Chains A and B, each alone.
Chain A
Amino acid sequence: MSLSTKQNLVLIGNGMAGMRTIEELLKLEPEKYSITVFGEEPYGNYNRIMLSPVLANEKTLEEVMLNDDSWYLENNIRFKKGKKIANIDRVLKQVIAEDGTEQPYDKLLIATGSTSFMLPLVGADKQGVIGFRDVKDVDTMISAAKKYKKAVVIGGGLLGLEAANGLMKQGMDVTVVHINDFLMERQLDKAASTMLQKSLEEKGMKFLMSHASKEILGDERVKGLSFQNGTKIDTDLLVMAVGIKPNFELAKTTGIHCERGIVVNDTMQTYDPNIYAIGECVQHRGEVYGLVAPLFEQAKVAANHLAELGYGRYEGTVTSTMLKVTGISLFSAGDFNGDEDTEELLFTDFASGTYKKLILRDNIIIGVCLYGDTLDGSWYFQMMKDGTNISDFRDSILFGQAHLGDAGHGDETRIAAMADNAEICGCNGVCKSEIVNAITEKKLFTLDDVRAHTKASASCGSCTGLVESLLAHTVGGDYSQAPSKKPLCTCTELTHEEVRTAIRKLGLKDHDDVRRSLNWKTEDGCSVCRQATNYYLLCEIPGYNDPESRFINERAHGNIQKDGTYSVVPRMFGGMCTPKDLRAIADVADKFKVPEMKVTGGQRIDMFGIKKEDLPLVWKDLSEAGFVSGHAYGKAMRTCKTCIGDSWCRMGTQDSTSLGIKLEELTWGSWMPHKYKLAVSGCPRNCAEATIKDFGVVCVDSGYEIHVGGNGGIKVRVTDFLIKLDTEEEVLEYCAAFSQFYREDAHYLERTAPWIERVGLDKIKAAVLDDEANRKALYERFVVSQKPAQIDPWKKHADGADANQFKSIKIVATA
């Protein structure tokens, strides 16, 4: 495409919001526009939230630059720095800079941000009176610190305290003047605020609380500040950090509708359809935002519409706050004060400086205020956004996520204190410094970015909280949190829940039907959504299968190993076997020269190193010896582990092996959202470890205890007790009903443990225990789904089904 056919896009405001939109747009439609950027400041785009660390000598300006001059060049963007736009001519569709530069536009993006709100005090025009907003303010403060001694900061909010901390680090004697009787009243309650003030005082900061400023004293330069109560204080520098105001004068004078900011709709469009606006200068659904997190969500939406894709919608952001003062951790979100209808969970330890408060309404978190120990901030915040019912772990929630049924990680989680080589992500072997370097060097802002670049937390996800904390510590407080509505994958805006409901309600028949009916962005989907959709389809339509949308393990009915060979696990019901079974397995191992064998954790025998082309032959021999597939490779029912029970054991109370066999005969072959394990223990000594299984039975003298939702994996979780039953028949019925409810309700790749924590045990009890008709219906649906599932896939392939898959093509090589 030649330059002349491109449309002109003009961006006013070279800040984080505007440039983020351009970056998002370049990802979507790199060739669509010829782009011109006007910036009032004489720099490239820098990370404004990192100005506090620059002032505190913890970072340099270069380190917080996001896009330097060369970036604009590389991306063919005309960058007019140091040029302020004086006027927008909406009729001729052009912008005019103060120096007369004219630039026509087809689409205009306004991202003029905000400015410091300056108190209209007498003397506010004196030298040495500044706000705290841009690089110029920081430069003024740094040079003042070299010449002068005393500084006063008006405003004990987030920005004021960061400015005061920075000035202190520059060697000044700093007093913070605050009109209220406690600090950061918009982000903290009084108790946390008192702890904050105490630790800041220990660092040397001084405070004048409940002081209303009256007049700025001095001649040309500020010399002091007087108060309404008649007192006064001497100072050489006065920083006003009482708030920011959206900068929308330019838009307003050209007649674009503005209230407290430029009014935009859910697509970030202003009342002029050719003009979009974004960031701190806009007002969306009555809200004006002064934090960074919302900007990123808005940028995605604006870019989507500038690219004319037309499906993004911005629905507002729930924001959280952190303070960027080294050595001080605080976190707050939502309504942390509460009212007469709310409840409060509180943990206070003044000696160690720890304060945690959660505000609940009907067991749902609506506000969070943390001081000292903020590691779980992002966890609480996510539950707040998701509206998670916390009644099941209400008694331990204040101790944090690490204490939630977890024996794995404990609380070895003080991010800032961790060594650079401390391993954060065990799955992918990523250490702290690798993550921090990637965040700084590649300018990452979101958890997804960090995952893509470092793989940290991309596998099992158990270190997500740690990675998020690292991100927050490295890029500053309000990094971009994951959006509350999480799409299934990048091919769609829909969530797991929405896709599944649509398949059910619309009766969608196959993959193409799903992608077409639900407006997928990609024709074929991707490896993430295809596998999920395949599961949701087969769950609705028993017997449905699209091999090309299955992970290779489920396509080849074996586990792919790192050298490309497969492992084979024959099913041994209940872990029981005979000498004949073992001989048959040994014969197969000899015949196919199996290099290594192992007894698995689920009481089966695993044969490693089998070549793909040998699989059907191996299966043929196993099948003739009476074995079926063990499904050790699938998101499926895996094994039922048993102990020997009362047939031999002197402690045994019931025939656990026979019950285990019956349970496995009922459930084998079932496709599940994730792997699914059963166990039956013959007595409460629990040798089969039934209380860390998805469905566990513990036999007692008087019957059978049913336990669900256990997990022995990455994050150990002990089961929840579901019910005690009298007969084996009941156990089988409840097992099928519970399994089917999990199959129909959980997200794909969600094990029973996180599923139960997400939906709550009450929902499961209601579906499986309380409602007998529903239990029977679930049981029936499970039985129906099992008919096609229990046609042994190994025998099918041994008999020649899909034979091509296992045969490679060989051609005689030519010279």
Chain B
Amino acid sequence: MSQWLEIVALEEIPILGSRVLETESENIAIFRAKEDKVYAIKDQCPHKQGPLSQGIMHGDSVTCPLHNWKISLVSGEALGADEGCTNVYETKVENGIIYLKS
């Protein structure tokens, strides 16, 4: 059964910055875009498992810090000529709090 999990206050993530959410099974990178948009993506690049949370975010994508793959935060897919995909999760922001659908 899916439900919304409270994660963290929006203001605790800088704009164009990220935080890592640790769960029992995996790490999830939470990114904050402009205009309070928030993305959540499995913190593992499809290429060589680089921590996407540590990459530079731009628009709705992030560049992996290990080998510069660009990953869409919307679809989890590698952009450009690279091929691969990682999981993304649904998020919402209410009253300044970020929620993740589990």
Check A527 for interface membership: any CB of B closer than 8 A.
yes
Check B101 for interface membership: any CB of A closer than 8 A.
no
**Chain B nearest CB, measured from A794 CB (Å):** 18
Once the chains are docked, how many angstroms separate the CA of A524 from the CA of B31? 14
Q: What are the residues of chain A within 8 A of B24 when measuring CB–CB?
A: 813
Q: Which of A93-107 contact B (CB under 8 A)?
A: none
Check B41 for interface membership: any CB of A closer than 8 A.
no
Q: What are the residues of chain B within 8 A of A547 when measuring CB–CB?
A: 14, 17
Q: What are the residues of chain A within 8 A of B57 when measuring CB–CB?
A: 524, 548
Query: Which residue of B has the minimal Cβ distance to A531?
Result: B56
Once the chains are docked, how many angstroms separate the CA of A525 from the CA of B58? 6
**Known contacts A452-B81, A562-B66, A809-B21: does B58 contact A530 (CB below 8 Å)?**
yes
**Do A551 and B34 touch across chains, with their CB atoms under 8 A apart?**
no
Please, what's the 1-or-0 string for A425-454, where 1 marks a CB less than 8 Å from any CB in chain B? 000000000000000000000000100110
Total interface residues on B, CB under 8 Å, equals 39
Q: What are the residues of chain A within 8 A of B8 when measuring CB–CB?
A: 809
Q: What are the residues of chain B within 8 A of A121 when measuring CB–CB?
A: none
**Do A811 and B55 touch across chains, with their CB atoms under 8 A apart?**
no
**Do B21 and A527 touch across chains, with their CB atoms under 8 A apart?**
no
Q: Which of B30-74 contact A (CB under 8 A)?
A: 30, 33-34, 48, 50-51, 54-59, 63, 65-66, 68, 70
A524, A556, A810, most chain B CB atoms within 10 A: A524
**Known contacts A808-B21, A809-B7: does B12 contact A522 (CB below 8 Å)?**
no
**Chain A nearest CB, measured from B63 CB (Å):** 4
**Do A526 and B63 touch across chains, with their CB atoms under 8 A apart?**
yes
**Do A564 and B50 touch across chains, with their CB atoms under 8 A apart?**
yes
Once the chains are docked, how many angstroms separate the CA of A551 from the CA of B67? 12
Query: Which residue of A has the minimal Cβ distance to B48?
Result: A562
**Do B54 and A560 touch across chains, with their CB atoms under 8 A apart?**
yes
Once the chains are docked, how many angstroms separate the CA of A804 from the CA of B11? 11
**Do A556 and B3 touch across chains, with their CB atoms under 8 A apart?**
no
Check A549 for interface membership: any CB of B closer than 8 A.
yes
**Known contacts A548-B56, A808-B22, A809-B19: does B7 contact A527 (CB below 8 Å)?**
no
Check B85 for interface membership: any CB of A closer than 8 A.
no
Q: What are the residues of chain B within 8 A of A453 when measuring CB–CB?
A: 81
Q: What are the residues of chain A within 8 A of B19 when measuring CB–CB?
A: 804, 807-809
Check A814 for interface membership: any CB of B closer than 8 A.
yes
Q: Which of A388-405 contact B (CB under 8 A)?
A: none
**Do A810 and B80 touch across chains, with their CB atoms under 8 A apart?**
no
Other-chain contact of A552, B48, B55, B59 (Cβ < 8 Å): B55
**Do B56 and A523 touch across chains, with their CB atoms under 8 A apart?**
no
**Do B23 and A811 touch across chains, with their CB atoms under 8 A apart?**
yes
A523, A805, A808, most chain B CB atoms within 10 A: A808
**Chain B nearest CB, measured from A56 CB (Å):** 31
Once the chains are docked, how many angstroms separate the CA of A564 from the CA of B56? 15
Please, what's the 1-or-0 string for A449-476, where 1 marks a CB less than 8 Å from any CB in chain B? 1001100000000000000000000000
Once the chains are docked, how many angstroms separate the CA of A524 from the CA of B70? 14
**Chain B nearest CB, measured from A806 CB (Å):** 10
Q: What are the residues of chain B within 8 A of A523 when measuring CB–CB?
A: 34, 59
**Chain B nearest CB, measured from A153 CB (Å):** 41
Other-chain contact of B15, A449, A548, A551, A813 (Cβ < 8 Å): A548
B8, B20, B57, B70, most chain A CB atoms within 10 A: B20
**Do B58 and A527 touch across chains, with their CB atoms under 8 A apart?**
yes
Check B27 for interface membership: any CB of A closer than 8 A.
yes
Check B95 for interface membership: any CB of A closer than 8 A.
no
**Known contacts A453-B81, A527-B68, A548-B16: does B58 contact A811 (CB below 8 Å)?**
no
Q: What are the residues of chain B within 8 A of A810 when measuring CB–CB?
A: 21-22
Check B97 for interface membership: any CB of A closer than 8 A.
no
Once the chains are docked, how many angstroms separate the CA of A523 from the CA of B61? 12
Q: What are the residues of chain A within 8 A of B102 when measuring CB–CB?
A: 814
Q: What are the residues of chain B within 8 A of A449 when measuring CB–CB?
A: 81
Q: What are the residues of chain B within 8 A of A807 when measuring CB–CB?
A: 19
**Known contacts A548-B14, A811-B23: does B7 contact A526 (CB below 8 Å)?**
no
Once the chains are docked, how many angstroms separate the CA of A809 from the CA of B28? 10
**Do B59 and A522 touch across chains, with their CB atoms under 8 A apart?**
yes
**Do B14 and A809 touch across chains, with their CB atoms under 8 A apart?**
no
**Do A530 and B21 touch across chains, with their CB atoms under 8 A apart?**
no
**Chain A nearest CB, measured from B58 CB (Å):** 4
**Chain B nearest CB, measured from A238 CB (Å):** 46
B21, B23, B50, B58, most chain A CB atoms within 10 A: B58
Once the chains are docked, how many angstroms separate the CA of A553 from the CA of B22? 21
Q: What are the residues of chain A within 8 A of B34 when measuring CB–CB?
A: 523-524
**Chain A nearest CB, measured from B48 CB (Å):** 7
Once the chains are docked, how many angstroms separate the CA of A525 from the CA of B16? 11
Q: What are the residues of chain B within 8 A of A452 when measuring CB–CB?
A: 80-81
Q: What are the residues of chain A within 8 A of B25 when measuring CB–CB?
A: 813
Q: What are the residues of chain B within 8 A of A560 when measuring CB–CB?
A: 51, 54, 65-66
**Do A551 and B30 touch across chains, with their CB atoms under 8 A apart?**
no
Once the chains are docked, how many angstroms separate the CA of A673 from the CA of B77? 32
Q: What are the residues of chain B within 8 A of A548 when measuring CB–CB?
A: 14-17, 56-57
Once the chains are docked, how many angstroms separate the CA of A78 from the CA of B33? 40
**Do A522 and B65 touch across chains, with their CB atoms under 8 A apart?**
no
**Chain B nearest CB, measured from A443 CB (Å):** 12
**Do A564 and B21 touch across chains, with their CB atoms under 8 A apart?**
no
**Do A564 and B81 touch across chains, with their CB atoms under 8 A apart?**
no
Q: What are the residues of chain A within 8 A of B7 when measuring CB–CB?
A: 809, 811
Query: Which residue of A has the minimal Cβ distance to B68?
Result: A527
**Do A804 and B12 touch across chains, with their CB atoms under 8 A apart?**
yes
Other-chain contact of A551, B51, B56, B59 (Cβ < 8 Å): B56
B7, B56, B80, most chain A CB atoms within 10 A: B56
Once the chains are docked, how many angstroms separate the CA of A810 from the CA of B15? 21
**Do A522 and B58 touch across chains, with their CB atoms under 8 A apart?**
yes
Q: What are the residues of chain B within 8 A of A530 when measuring CB–CB?
A: 56, 58
Once the chains are docked, how many angstroms separate the CA of A811 from the CA of B5? 9
Other-chain contact of B54, A549, A562, A564, A813 (Cβ < 8 Å): A564
Q: Which of A550-588 contact B (CB under 8 A)?
A: 550-553, 555-556, 560, 562, 564
Once the chains are docked, how many angstroms separate the CA of A809 from the CA of B7? 8
Query: Which residue of A has the minimal Cβ distance to B6?
Result: A811
Q: What are the residues of chain B within 8 A of A556 when measuring CB–CB?
A: 54
Q: What are the residues of chain A within 8 A of B5 when measuring CB–CB?
A: 811, 814
Once the chains are docked, how many angstroms separate the CA of A547 from the CA of B57? 11
Query: Which residue of A has the minimal Cβ distance to B7?
Result: A809
**Do A808 and B68 touch across chains, with their CB atoms under 8 A apart?**
no
**Chain A nearest CB, measured from B53 CB (Å):** 9
Query: Which residue of B has the minimal Cβ distance to A428?
Result: B67
Q: What are the residues of chain B within 8 A of A522 when measuring CB–CB?
A: 58-59
**Chain B nearest CB, measured from A54 CB (Å):** 28
Query: Which residue of B has the minimal Cβ distance to A562?
Result: B66
Q: What are the residues of chain A within 8 A of B51 when measuring CB–CB?
A: 560, 564
**Do B27 and A808 touch across chains, with their CB atoms under 8 A apart?**
yes
Q: What are the residues of chain A within 8 A of B13 when measuring CB–CB?
A: 804
Once the chains are docked, how many angstroms separate the CA of A807 from the CA of B19? 8
**Do B20 and A808 touch across chains, with their CB atoms under 8 A apart?**
yes
Q: What are the residues of chain B within 8 A of A814 when measuring CB–CB?
A: 3, 5, 102
**Chain A nearest CB, measured from B24 CB (Å):** 4
Once the chains are docked, how many angstroms separate the CA of A620 from the CA of B56? 27
Other-chain contact of B56, A527, A562, A808, A811 (Cβ < 8 Å): A527
Query: Which residue of A has the minimal Cβ distance to B80?
Result: A452
Once the chains are docked, how many angstroms separate the CA of A814 from the CA of B100? 12
**Do A527 and B16 touch across chains, with their CB atoms under 8 A apart?**
no
**Chain B nearest CB, measured from A566 CB (Å):** 10
Could you write out 13 A-B pairs with CB less than 8 Å apart? Answer: A523-B34, A524-B33, A524-B58, A524-B59, A526-B56, A526-B63, A548-B17, A552-B56, A560-B54, A804-B19, A809-B21, A811-B7, A813-B24
Across the A-B interface, the 8 shortest Cβ-Cβ residue pairs: A527-B63, A452-B81, A527-B56, A808-B20, A552-B54, A524-B58, A548-B16, A813-B24
Known: A552-B54, A562-B48. 8 other contacts (CB 8 A): A449-B81, A523-B59, A524-B16, A547-B17, A553-B65, A556-B54, A804-B12, A809-B22
List residues of B whose CB falls within 8 A of some A CB: 3, 5-8, 12-17, 19-25, 27, 30, 33-34, 48, 50-51, 54-59, 63, 65-66, 68, 70, 80-81, 102
